[in-house]
Chain A
Amino acid sequence: MSSPSRSPGGLREYRLEPLGESYVLATFTDSDADDRWRHAHSICRSLESMRYDAVLSVYPAYDSVLIEYDAARIDSEGMCRIVEGLTATYSHADEEWLSATVTYRLPVCFGFDLEAIAAELDMSPSELIELEASAPIRIRCRGVGGGLMMLNHSTVPPVSRLASPVIRETHGGEFNLAGVQCSIGLSSGRATTGWRSIGRTPVDVASEFRRPTASFHLGDSVRLDPITADAWAEHEGRPVATVGVAS
């Protein structure tokens, strides 16, 4: 791996990596996870506001942003120089989107691999549930594959991602773990995944993805609210708006 670079003024530490002839991955390596995430998303917004038409798409994630560009018009070196230039600038306007975030309360029925994972982490299932429900978790990125993707509480030790993804039956609303990450899945059906599930919400998260202006935006948080299997039916089918906004 190449050594990280630091933007002038020391605002951001990052690494640029061409992936093929049409993509550059910018990964932020600052020590604080929140800084890495905010920088990735603010660079994404800076690129969008440039409206440079050789940039075809920007894909932010936890601590990185993937830039897809028209390789018929610019090469990877040119694209890297543009990203380097953007890292040298910093505007609080880039982070205005963070000020309008909300916290949703998500009922979750815990189960699936809960006992096995709790045992791996040397704690009881109820202790793991208590840790997961202890505070809101921020949505770091979204995807129709990964669903609502978050960084788990620092109090929960990393849960190993499956070394090789398996094809298994997945369920919409699954609460999944992999490493320091956690997610709420979207769709049901057989899927290839390396994530492990310890619960499921009856809230139809997928329906929120079908509407561009719906809930669960980047920077919003979810607070997991443990429910019993008996309580599942009373929450099932409810739109997210009726679940309530916690703060």
Chain B
Amino acid sequence: MIVGSNQSIRVIESFGAVVQDLGRFGYEKGGISRSGASDVFSARFANLLLGNTTGAPCVELTGAGLAFESEREITFSVTGGVAEVRVDGDVRVPQWEAVTVPPRTRVDIGAPVTGYRVYLALPGGVRAKRLYGSVSPLPPLGFANDVASGGTIEYPAGPVGVPAVPGAGALAEPFRARLGGSPHRIGVLETEQAGMFEGMELLYANEFTMSPRSNAVGARFDGDTPVRRDLGEVVSRSVPIGSIEIPSAGELIALLRGRFITAGYPVPAVIAKADIDTVAQLRPGSRTSFERIDETEARYRLLDQELALRRLTGSERVTP
């Protein structure tokens, strides 16, 4: 963590939490991957609840909880997967709302019971070291801002934004609802490269189970997949976040925001941008199905998310 005249909270327990923002922009030509929060909508919503900028650094918890204590009164927000948030052990406080607690309060964020990743935003955003303009992990270069038990999380001491009014979290309700139910339905757009596969209908007819080998680079699924029939060499090219690759029969990979930029396997379908956050919230063992949608539907879903975020700020200042 960056030291200085910041305020801080003391981390009592952490299990692999990291500081994330929206990732790296402008360095792709030099091969620097985007990375950033896996569930962008939840990270942005958590920040906007506090009046932070939409891309302010926040804490990402993956499949585990976090406990912290603050010497001062603090306002925070918790979004993402469904987790129990308790203050001083007994008072339960809501997610998707700005919550203020008095000095010397312990806050326990439980492991998510639905969904997989939880976001904690602090006033003004978390202070952390940056590489290529971002605080987010870049594992190939050994860069990360880990949140460790016994450590501190710094945030600015100066003036911060105005928190959203109580009840603002209702704006996220349509997106939170996607975390429940099984199988999860993920919208995909087929590409011309689908012609390199046999049995594309299997992608839409079958359910797939998320593998424990999944990580921030890619969500892996087991199931009865289409089979690649054109085995010609594909020269590496840049691939979208959300690309679906089927390197061998029965194995499907959905590339997430930690993906490397180039790949040499065909991409028969791409997940709608608005649905990538849902994939990021799947936990190993989750059952998923893919639905073929068109560009209009994909753009509608994206606009729907943006509208919710703009309503949250009450202005047009929110940008992706």
Q: How far is the CB of B272 from chain A (nearest CB, A)?
A: 6
Q: Are A163 and B231 interface neighbours, CB within 8 A? A: yes
Contacts of A186 in B (CB 8 A): 140-141
Interface residues of A in 135-175 (CB under 8 A from B): 141-146, 149, 158, 160-161, 163-165, 167
Q: Which residue of B lies closest to A68 (CB)?
A: B240
Q: Are A56 and B141 interface neighbours, CB within 8 A? A: no
Question: What 0/1 readout, one digit per residue, does chain A (18-61) give for beta carbons within 8 Å of chain B?
Answer: 11111101010000000000000000100000000000111111
Q: Is A220 an interface residue (CB 8 A)?
A: no
Q: How far is the CB of B25 from chain A (nearest CB, A)?
A: 7
> Which of B146-154, B159-167, B189-197 is near enough to bind chain A?
B189-197
Query: Which of A21, A23, A57, A179 touches B264 (beta carbons < 8 Å)?
Result: A179
Q: How many A-B residue pairs have CB under 8 A?
A: 171
Q: Are B29 and A58 interface neighbours, CB within 8 A? A: yes
Q: Are A71 and B298 interface neighbours, CB within 8 A? A: yes
> Which of A110-118, A122-130, A206-214, A224-232 is near enough to bind chain B?
A206-214
CA of A57 to CA of B30 in the docked complex: distance in angstroms? 12
Q: Are B235 and A209 interface neighbours, CB within 8 A? A: no
CA of A2 to CA of B247 in the docked complex: distance in angstroms? 23
Contacts of A23 in B (CB 8 A): 240, 270
CA of A186 to CA of B298 in the docked complex: distance in angstroms? 36
Contacts of B26 in A (CB 8 A): 57
CA of A17 to CA of B141 in the docked complex: distance in angstroms? 32
By CB atoms of chain B within 10 A, which of A18, A178, A209 has the most?
A209
In the complex with contacts A71-B299, A164-B247, A187-B140, A20-B273 CB distance below 8 A: yes
Q: Is B206 an interface residue (CB 8 A)?
A: no
Interface residues of B in 247-268 (CB under 8 A from A): 247-248, 251, 259-262, 264-265, 267
In addition to A75-B295, A149-B236, 5 A-B residue pairs with Cβ atoms within 8 Å of each other are: A57-B26, A59-B28, A143-B31, A143-B261, A144-B138
